[in-house]
Structure 1
């Protein structure tokens, strides 16, 4: 029974996609470099930020920024120039508007 519990626990945590993020200040530290665009049509991903980590479990644009790097699944850095970014994002106020526009970039947060 212990083995089954361990396996199921591992499977659940291994299947969680990276939506708990930590914002690093140095550009050489992040897993993904982000650029915020004003126009949602220019974004790869529409992002809605939530205040609770349990609401940000899938790779669907619902993000939670942790205060502790050890709790994050990905380290991100916001860059000032679009050509420095791996991913262009647009923040949305409604959770239903969050989601991928450019599916080819989705693997950056897996």
Structure 2
């Protein structure tokens, strides 16, 4: 499986999407994620939106062009055992702000 890195930034302003940015190195991440084959195997479901206003709940992410637009980093790993938090201090960022 290929390795992918993302930066996930969440705006505290109400009704804003959780923002995602692709990065190059796993050392930049605070959360390691493993992609599963089936929805029933997932602990967290994610959907990418094209516009911020399309996001209305947890798990709806907006890709952004610049890393500076994001503040939460995730890395997709190739092994389930590597999945988990690198820094639990940012767990609250996975919650959608209404």
| TM-score, normalised by the number of residues in structure 1 | 0.56
Q: 1:5 maps to what in 2?
A: none
How much is the aligned-residue C-alpha RMSD, in angstroms?
2.7
Structure 1 distance, partners of 2:26, 2:51, is: 26
SS at match of 2:45: strand
Q: 2:69 maps to what in 1?
A: 71
Please give the residue correspondences for 1:15-30 in structure 2 after superposition, counting only pairs within 5 Å: 19-30=18-29
Structure 2: segments with no counterpart, 5+ residues: 1-10, 86-90
Q: 2:82 maps to what in 1?
A: 84
- Indicate conservation of the 8 Å contact 1:33/1:79, yes or no: yes
Q: CA deviation at 1:23?
A: 2.4
Please give the residue correspondences for 1:1-110 in structure 2 after superposition, counting only pairs within 5 Å: 14=12, 19-56=18-55, 58=57, 60-86=58-84, 107=92, 109-110=94-95
| TM-score, normalised by the number of residues in structure 2 | 0.62
More helix by share: 1
Q: How many residues align?
A: 79
Which has the bigger relative contact order, CA under 8 A and spacing at least 6? 2
Structure 1 distance, partners of 2:92, 2:41, is: 19
CA 1:72 to 1:108, structure 2 compared with 1: closer, same or farther past 3 Å? closer
CA 1:78 to 1:72, structure 2 compared with 1: closer, same or farther past 3 Å? same
Q: CA deviation at 1:27?
A: 1.0
Once the two structures are superposed, residues 5-48 of structure 1 have per-residue CA deviations (whole angstroms, 9 ceiling, x without a partner) of xxxxxxxx535587212222211111222211111121111111
